[in-house]
Amino acid sequence: MNIALIGYGKMGRTIEEIVKERGHSIVGIIDEGSDLKISDLPGKKVDVAIEFTQPVSAFNNLKECITEGITVISGTTGWLDKYDELVSYTTSKQGTFLYSSNFSLGVNLFFKITQHVARLMSAYSGYGVEMEEVHHTQKKDAPSGTAITLAEGIIKNDSRFSSWVNEITDKKDMLRIMSKRIDEVPGTHTVKYSSKEDDIQLTHTAHSRKGFALGAVLVAEWIADKKGILTMDDFLGFK
Ligand SMILES: NC(=O)c1ccc[n+]([C@@H]2O[C@H](COP(=O)([O-])OP(=O)(O)OC[C@H]3O[C@@H](n4cnc5c(N)ncnc54)[C@H](O)[C@@H]3O)[C@@H](O)[C@H]2O)c1
């Protein structure tokens, strides 16, 4: 397969290693200010572009890929206020894209586990719920995209909550997400239920970026012959 990388930072470089290990070709690398542009990609016979850049760049990059008829997957977080606009644009152009706040298999299983636990715990009002996410200090957005996906899954399954906040709150209908930034942490997410008597804690700890990068490459292989707007649930056969 011919793969283009958009964004050549920590994730782009880790993805490059796995793309090569799996026998694919990197036919273009686009980073901020590079000579190669997204409009050059059709000429490079790209099957799938993999986009990991920054919150401010992702929407325009993805839109440009769709304009050029390039299938694109994105793991960039912090731009989802424009997700619906991208869906409309992609539909109008009959394009193909997949966004995931987290490409690792373990985290996608963790999404399902925490949704199931939220349904179970919603009957036990003696337990409060809090979330914590910890990432490396260069991360630009807070809370993490993964924490937002986790929170949305809990809110959908526990009617006590209407929304999430990223600060201390007394409001009972707000799910609190605490964000911590500590050097070199690839990503740790915890959902904690606390009562006067005890705590129940669910934690996912990424050991490195490899799990995210491998997931992204597996999705690129899978999506190459698909059409439309797809999700990790489609890829993993969850529904
Ligand atoms: N979905 C997941 O599984 C997952 C996993 C890890 C990180 N992330 C997210 O992926 C994104 C990238 O993470 P990272 O750790 O590689 O960040 P990074 O800062 O190391 O790399 C980002 C790269 O994007 C480049 N860039 C910026 N604007 C660009 C543009 N307009 N076009 C092309 N390149 C551009 C930068 O020069 C940089 O090299 C972040 O939003 C992060 O939160 C997602």
Q: List, for residues 80-136, the tens digit of each pLDDT value.
A: 999 999 999 999 999 999 999 999 999 999 999 999 999 999 999 999 999 999 999
Residue (of 67, 31, 28) closest to 49 by Cα position: 28
Closest ligand 1 atom to 6 CA: 33
The pLDDT score that the predictor gives to residue 239 is: 74
187: left (phi over 0), alpha (psi -120 to 50) or beta: left
H/E stretch holding 19: helix 10-21
Look up tokens 């997400």; give the residue.
177
Instruction: Answer yes or no: is the C-beta of 31 below 6 A from any ligand 1 atom.
Output: yes
Q: Report, as ranges of residue numbers, the positions in the chain whose pLDDT lies below 50.
A: none
| Whether the Cβ atoms of residue 73 and residue 97 lie closer than 8 Å to each other | yes
Instruction: Answer yes or no: is the C-beta of 11 below 6 A from any ligand 1 atom.
Output: yes
Task: Enter the CATH code of domain 2-103+210-236.
Answer: 3.40.50.720
Instruction: Answer yes or no: is the C-beta of 75 below 6 A from any ligand 1 atom.
Output: yes
Whole-number Å distance, alpha carbon 76 to ligand 1 midpoint, is 6
Nearest CA to ligand 1 atom 31: 57
Whole-number Å distance, alpha carbon 7 to ligand 1 midpoint, is 6
135 assigned to active site: yes
Task: Enter the CATH code of domain 105-205.
Answer: 3.30.360.10
Strand 188-194's sheet: what is its strand order?
163-165, 174-181, 128-135, 188-194, 199-205
Backbone φ, ψ for residue 221 (5° rounding): -65, -40
Backbone φ, ψ for residue 158 (5° rounding): -140, 105
Domain with CATH 3.40.50.720 in the chain: 2-103+210-236
Catalytic residue among 44, 82, 136, 139: 139
Instruction: Answer yes or no: is the C-beta of 108 below 6 A from any ligand 1 atom.
Output: no
DSSP symbol at 155:
H
The pLDDT score that the predictor gives to residue 115 is: 97
The pLDDT score that the predictor gives to residue 178 is: 98
- List % helix, strand, coil for the chain (3-state, nearest 5): 40, 25, 35
Q: What percent of the chain has pLDDT over 70?
A: 100
171 assigned to active site: no
Domain with CATH 3.30.360.10 in the chain: 105-205
